[in-house]
Amino acid sequence: MLADPAAVRLARDAAQEEAGSEHVGAHVGLLAEDETSVTHFFEAEHAGYRGWQWAVTVAYAGEGSPVSVSEAVLLPGNDALVAPQWVPWNERVRAGDLGVGDLLPASPDDPRLAPGYVESEDPAVEEVALEVGLGRVRVLSREGVLDAAERWHGGDFGPRSEMARSAPAACGTCGFYLRIAGALGSAFGVCGNELTPADGHVVHVEYGCGAHSEVEVEGGSAVPVADVVYDDALLEVEVNEPAAKATDEVVAEAADGAAGEGDTPGAVDGVERVSDADGAAGAADASGVSDASGVSAGTTAR
């Protein structure tokens, strides 16, 4: 009875009454709520409600009673365009959203904070509270300290940042590193170098940058230069000729020099002939002496 055509028409009429002038689409299904009630679904053709459906619940009170409409509502379907789930304002705020003049109070049950009369597990905080005789209303809890340390460690000034990986040394050995007091001082400090992007920020002890106080830069050109540079455009090439050819040239040069010293081009030949004549004259003189000696010796003997 609750699913017969009469019940469907009754549900459509109720949906159309709710929709007003908007047309109610086709019947797309039904859902049995219990033994006495069924919900019928119709496509909603209302502008801006794509995927939504009219849901009309009809009920039957028992034998002798007519089928009646319990409720008619507009509900989103499986592929309906809906607004994102509502998030409280204090959970929507993200780092960097706080502007000048904005107020952002902490919730009373913020797990990052603990009452001031409870030990903060930070000796420096306890020492200050003891000296002044009173403490802050709330201080960082252990969860708050660990949350801050994890956030700073993974931030832009942590040991895994791009700047830290290319640094020549870590902040822990830098003269500009200002170690903070308390439990976090073993891992974090504040940068005091105005020339770095980390100036005034909390930095990890293993963070680093190129402005380390002990960094040294070698003087000279930043471009490596070789000790000897050959310029191919001005390179002079000398060809070594064979030794025999060089000897012939030396002899020819000597002959040319001797020729230049004589009166005639044949001076060299003249020198050679004179030398030959002197040799012959010397030989003749020697023969004459021998002959004269021989004659004299012969005469004496007779």
Mean pLDDT over 49-71 rounds to: 88
Which residues are 189's β-sheet partners? 179, 203
| Six token digits for residue 106 | 């902490």
Q: Which of 48-57, 212-221, 268-277 has the lowest mean pLDDT?
A: 268-277
Q: Within a 10 A sphere around the Cβ of 184, how many other Cβ atoms?
A: 19
Q: Which of 11-15, 159-163, 274-278 has the lowest mean pLDDT?
A: 274-278
Helix, strand and coil content of the chain, in percent to the nearest 5, comes to 35, 20, 45
Count of H-run helices and E-run strands, the chain: 7, 9
Say which DSSP state 242 is in. P
Q: How far is CA 232 from CA 227, 236, 239, 240, 248, in A?
A: 16, 9, 17, 20, 34
pLDDT score of 277: 46
Say which DSSP state 44 is in. E
pLDDT score of 179: 93
Residues 165, 210: contact at Cβ < 8 Å?
no
Distance CA 188, CA 231 (A): 55
What's the pLDDT band for 77 if we cut at 50, 70, 90? Answer: confident
Q: Where is pLDDT greater, at 198 or 248?
A: 198
* Pairing, β 52-60 against β 37-44: antiparallel
pLDDT score of 244: 58
pLDDT digits (tens, 9 = 90+) for 167-196: 889 999 999 999 998 889 999 999 998 888
Q: Order across the sheet with 37-44: list the strands.
A: 24-34, 37-44, 52-60, 67-76
Which residues are within 8 A (CB) of 74 and not within 5 positions of it... i.e. 6 or more apart? 18, 44, 46, 49, 52, 53, 54, 55
Distance CA 185, CA 149 (A): 11
Mean pLDDT over 267-280 rounds to: 46
Write down how long the chain is.
302
pTM: 0.41
Nearest partner of 155 among 177, 179, 180, 188, judged by Cα: 188
Residues 243, 199: contact at Cβ < 8 Å?
no
Distance CA 98, CA 106 (A): 13
Mean pLDDT over 204-210 rounds to: 93
Mean pLDDT of all residues belonging to the chain: 76
Helix (H, G, I), strand (E, B) or coil at 114: strand
